Amino acid sequence: MHLKSLTLKGFKSFASATTLKLEPGICAVVGPNGSGKSNVVDALAWVMGEQGAKTLRGGKMEDVIFAGTGDRKPLGRAEVTLTIDNSDGKLPIEYSEVSITRRMFRDGASEYEINGAKARLMDIQELLSDSGIGREMHVIVGQGRLSQILESRPEERRAFIEEAAGVLKHRRRKEKAQRKLVNMQANLDRLHDLTDELHKQLGPLARQAEAAQKASAVQATIRSTRVQLAAHKVKQLSEELNDSTRRSEMLAEQRAELQAELEEHSETLAVTEEELRTALEEAEAAKNLWYRLSAVQEKNSATLRIASDRAEQAQVAEWSGPDPQELLERAERAAEEQAELEENVEIAAEKLETIAEQVAEAEEAARAAEQEHFAQVRAIADRREGVVRLLAQHEAAATQRDNAAAEVERLQDNAAEQQETLDGLLEDITEAEEALRETEASGGDLEETRAQADREAAGAEERAEQLRAEQLQLERDIATAEATIAAWQDRLTPTDGAAVVVRAADKAGIATLRLAEQLHIHDGWGAAAAAVLGDAASSGIVAPLSDALISALIDAREGRAVLLDPSAPEGDASATFRLDTDVSAGKWLLDLMDVPADLLRPLTALLVDVVAVDSAAEARKVVAADPRLRAVTKDGSVYGAGWVASGSGGTTPVELADRIAAETEGVTKKKKELGDLQAALSGALDAASDLRTAAAAARAAEQEHRALRDAAAKRLGALQKQGDAAQRQLERSTAEQQSAEQRLAKATEELDELADRVARVDDEDHTTEPSSAERDAAALHLSQVKAMEMEARLAQRTAEERAQSTRGKAENLRRQARAEEAARKHHQQQQARRAAAREMATCVREQSQRIADRIADALATAEANRSQTEHAHKQWQTTMAQQRDKVSALTAQLGRMNDNAHTAELARTQAQVKIEQAVAGAMEQLGLTAEQLLAEELPEDFDAAATKAELKKAEKALNSLGKVNPLALEEFKALEERYNFLAQQLDDVERARNDLHEVIADVDATILQLFTEAWKDVEVAFPQVFSTLFPGGAGRLVLTDPDDMLTTGIEVEARPPGKKVKRLSLLSGGEKSLTALAMLVAIFKARPSPFYVMDEVEAALDDVNLRRLIALFEELRKDSQLIVITHQKPTMDVANVLYGVTMRGDGVTRVISQRMAPEKTA
């Protein structure tokens, strides 16, 4: 394995593409200081992955790009390609030749390639590390590196041996594993925190789950006892229902006579109302007619004013502006001037072209005169050298002419072959360009399609996430609302006296209902209703007025309760009774409540005197107007005659029931919204999935098209490069051919001249000096025609500038003329419209004046009619008021009669209501119908009191459990599953961490083995190399910590012959260089590398030490390739190939090579 070639393009001083063909053995790079020799070393280090700008002798990495000179512009990129001969297979790649390319651009972007394929820096470093070449670049010994080796720390010297032993890739693997360990530790800590937190939550949740399980068993017992009690109650009420169906037919005859009289007076009132309605319509019609005439009068007046104003304003104005015809004439003159100036420019150009031809002819004549004069001078000099020399020149010229003729013939054949090759490449380039155009055209808007697909997919996913968040929030709201409803329902359970009544009613088989659950209060009036209901709001029970219930309530002494009897007779007028008083300051509270029909009577009795008002002032006003009334505000303040009850006593069952109803309605709506939202989310997820698939397909199509386009562009670029190279080669060949032809012509001419001179040499007795008059005349003529050329150029430039200043002037004037013509036509049309508008306004003004007179007469007539109809309307109003008083008296009497009938009907339907209430309560609480309750078989020894006691005991046990989380069991199972899952994940992460520790241990063992073996070999080789460089001296390498081979450093001990020094700093410059070289060569021998680069390492050595170092070079080149940057001739003598590096005034480095003869390598 060896370096085969190095190609530099735009790297530092190598502005042009330069290739060094390297060969095995010693390759010496020579040249003057500053010519760019060390840039070759920098290029080798850079292409093999060097990342330090200071190592490359720069301030930043972009400094490697050619920065430009006075004659050449800076380049935009630097590129270096290193070709390695891998025929022995030392590199782990299946190629006999490996090409590594590194490319850098001005913007800092870098590219790496291996055999033309894109690669990473890591790929190149790993490829080279297997052959002993690492990122420390120990195989490249640059300027100042030798002193750096000795001055470095022991741990840094260790890195040279590790790199040669191939340890660095294992260290990178270890560092990668250690970074994974650090990242894994963060995840491990997070998992520990999560599992600890879940473990803390499991304990309380387990206790909640146990309580929920106990509560479930108690609730089953409660349901069983409630079912038995409900069945017992329904059967008792069914027996009572049969006794209460005969009580509702007693008052129908008494009501019929009163009803007939009321209907008679109502018919009379209806006739009066019809007459009043007719009078009202006539009055309204007269009033509306008067209003319409007044409005018409106002509109006509406005029309009259507007018409007068428009007639005065529509005046005709004259047009002022430039004349379009004058503008057109100016445009024509400008066009003529422009044409004349353009013609002057053409004349000046033709004159300049003629003078340029004269200049070319004058230059050719001057050159010919100069050559002729020179030929004459040279002929005289030749003649003076003698006849013998003339004859020798004649013979040499003949030989030169023959050689030139042969060269011309060879170059003509070569040019023909190259022209044929170039034609073929041009055809291939044309085909490649057409293929590239077709590929680009076929791409269309793939990029826009892909971008649009990505945007749509992102939008769909964002919409799905938004819907998912809304769904989660809605589910949380529903769960919160249902929990709130359940809590409020628990608070509605009867307590104190109400509970006593419920138990007593259940024992007696009487159906009961909670008053708070039967009412629906309009928005905002719940607190007011609770305040005026008093005990009925918190302890109101709907049940028949049974002495047994009242006695049980008194005997229990557990609190108060209010019983409301629903058994009012049908048609009882008292159910809808209102006090006969004015409540315009507020509303009856009963009108703000939705009450079941069977509760109208008791609630009317409780609240018939209550008026709902908005403020305290209105409340005091209502009470002052009628002391019988009570007034209540929204905040629950109750006002009476001489008293006020106010303040907050907490939330009452009435308010709770109202809140439960509102919250339940809200939950129903939210559940419907949740269903719609779930359907929308499903559709959004499907749409997002489809759009992601479409986006992926668009990206794939775009990538495929990009690959095809890049391949076509790459092929076109390669063909263009080949074509350019072929074109340049052809041009060089053509130039060489022309040069050869010129040499042939010149040789023939010289031969003829020499022959003539040989023939005339005997006849000429003396020579005369040639005249320079003809040459001076030609030079004078040349200077004159060049002056004429300069004047012609100035004249042409002046004409062009004048022509440029007038271009476009004519067209601008024409556009201005057209604009003025259009503006003048528009003004004329506008003046015509103004004249027509003035005539129209005058006509409208005259018509409006005539209409105003007629409207004034009609308005006077309408005023008289309005007064007459209003008087008739007032008379009918008086008559209707009298008849309404009569109907109201009869209605009040019939209302009282209806109240009595309703009382009787309420008594008849009381039993029916009780059983319906009992069945409704059973359906609401137990989900059982009347048929199911009647079919329920009770035990023969059923005791309602004992069963109620059992129920009370179970309820007490349930209450003792406190608030129970019904979802605790499911939450506990879910949390336990998550805890187990995280615990399993924790075990997996810990096992992975242990595996990484094992990997690090294995890597450490490998590093230890490789370093130890390499150290032993280097330790043995160093004294041998040192004794070669320092005959009679002694040197050795020592480990700083032999017990820790993984981190130990390396110290260098050196004692040149005749000296007893212990510190390396006391050595001379040459001794330091040789000691450092001894260490490097010992490493090279212990772990040979395919090649080494030495950059002026022998600069500080004398001839004796230089010969010793060259002897080591001779040993190294047996197994490795050496590239040596040198100024020393002995080093050049042992080289196989010499590379000469030069730099001309343009600041660009050039390289020439010379293969050395084999005998010079000895």
pLDDT, tens only, 314-371: 555 565 566 677 777 777 777 777 777 777 778 877 877 888 777 788 778 777 877 7
What backbone phi and psi angles, to 5 degrees, belong to 323? Answer: -80, 120
The neighbouring-strand residues paired with 117 are: 114
Is residue 136 pLDDT above 80, yes or no? Answer: no
Question: Would you state the structure tokens that stand for residue 688, as one six-digit string?
Answer: 């997002």
pLDDT tens column, 429-475:
888 788 777 777 766 667 777 777 778 878 877 887 787 778 777 77
37 is in an annotated binding site: yes
Are β-strands 562-564 and 540-542 bridged in parallel, bridged antiparallel, or unpaired?
A: parallel
34 is in an annotated binding site: yes
621, 646, 671 - which closes a domain: 646
Domains held by the chain: number: 2
Other residues' Cβ atoms within 10 Å of the Cβ of residue 746? 14
Question: Would you state the structure tokens that stand for residue 489, as one six-digit string?
Answer: 């329902």
Residue 977 falls inside a structural domain: no
Q: In terms of DSSP H, where are the helices of 24-87?
A: 37-47
Angle (CA) 676 681 685, round 5°? 155
Residue 868 falls inside a structural domain: no
Question: Would you state the structure tokens that stand for residue 785, as one six-digit string?
Answer: 């025609």
pLDDT tens column, 815-860:
777 777 777 776 677 677 667 667 776 777 677 777 777 777 777 7
- 594 within 8 A of 519, measured Cβ to Cβ: yes
Mean of pLDDT values over 885-908 = 66
CA distance 1020 to 1024: 7
Q: SS3 of 246, please? A: coil
Is residue 549 pLDDT above 80, yes or no? Answer: no
Other residues' Cβ atoms within 10 Å of the Cβ of residue 16? 13
Percent of the chain residues past pLDDT 90, beyond the cut: 4
The pLDDT, as a whole number, for residue 498 is: 63
Other residues' Cβ atoms within 10 Å of the Cβ of residue 116? 10
Residue 570 falls inside a structural domain: yes
Question: Would you state the structure tokens that stand for residue 45, as one six-digit string?
Answer: 């280090």
Angle (CA) 604 606 611, round 5°? 80
Least confident of 25-29, 943-947, 1013-1017: 943-947
Is residue 8 pLDDT above 90, yes or no? Answer: yes
Candidates 100, 123, 39, 152; CA nearest to 1093 is 39
With residues binned 3-state (H G I as helix, E B as strand, rest as coil), the percentages for the chain, rounded to 5, are: 70, 10, 20
CA distance 853 to 851: 5
Q: Is 838 exposed, middle or buried (0-12, 13-18, 19+ CB in 10 A)?
A: middle
35 is in an annotated binding site: yes
Residue 594 falls inside a structural domain: yes
Write the CB contacts of 439 (distance below 8 Å, at least 6 apart in sequence).
705, 708, 709, 712
CA distance 335 to 28: 75
Residue 589 falls inside a structural domain: yes
Least confident of 142-146, 147-151, 384-388, 924-928: 384-388
CA distance 73 to 91: 39
611, 646, 681 - which closes a domain: 646
Q: SS3 of 901, please? A: helix
Q: How many residues does the chain have?
A: 1162
**HSE-up of residue 297 (Cα within 13 Å, Cβ side):** 14
Is residue 551 pLDDT above 80, yes or no? Answer: no
Least confident of 65-74, 383-392, 956-965: 383-392
Is residue 161 pLDDT above 60, yes or no? Answer: yes
Residue 100 falls inside a structural domain: yes
pLDDT band at 100 (very low <50, low <70, confident <90, very high): very high
- 1011 within 8 A of 171, measured Cβ to Cβ: no
Residue 93 falls inside a structural domain: yes
CA distance 734 to 415: 6
Question: Would you state the structure tokens that stand for residue 901, as one six-digit string?
Answer: 């009938």
pLDDT tens column, 628-667:
888 888 887 888 888 888 776 556 666 667 677 777 878 8
The CA–CA distances, whole Å, from 94 to 90, 120, 1101 equal 10, 18, 43
Residue 104 falls inside a structural domain: yes
CA distance 486 to 488: 5
What backbone phi and psi angles, to 5 degrees, belong to 155? Answer: -65, -30
Is pLDDT larger for residue 499 or for residue 1144? 1144
Tell me the range of 302-306, 628-632, 899-903 where mean pLDDT is highest. 628-632
Is residue 992 pLDDT above 80, yes or no? Answer: yes
Domain of residue 40, CATH code: 3.40.50.300
Q: In terms of DSSP H, where are the helices of 761-808?
A: 773-806
Mean of pLDDT values over 952-978 = 74
Q: SS3 of 141, please? A: strand
The pLDDT, as a whole number, for residue 9 is: 92
The pLDDT, as a whole number, for residue 808 is: 66
CA distance 64 to 43: 9
CA distance 522 to 593: 6
What backbone phi and psi angles, to 5 degrees, belong to 593? Answer: -130, 140
Mean pLDDT estimate for the chain: 76
pLDDT tens column, 521-542:
777 787 787 777 766 655 556 6
Phi-psi region at 899: left, alpha or beta (left = phi > 0; alpha = psi -120 to 50) = alpha
38 is in an annotated binding site: yes
The pLDDT, as a whole number, for residue 571 is: 47
For 37, the domain range is 1-139+1096-1104+1121-1162
Mean of pLDDT values over 249-258 = 68
The neighbouring-strand residues paired with 1054 are: 1035
619, 646, 673 - which closes a domain: 646
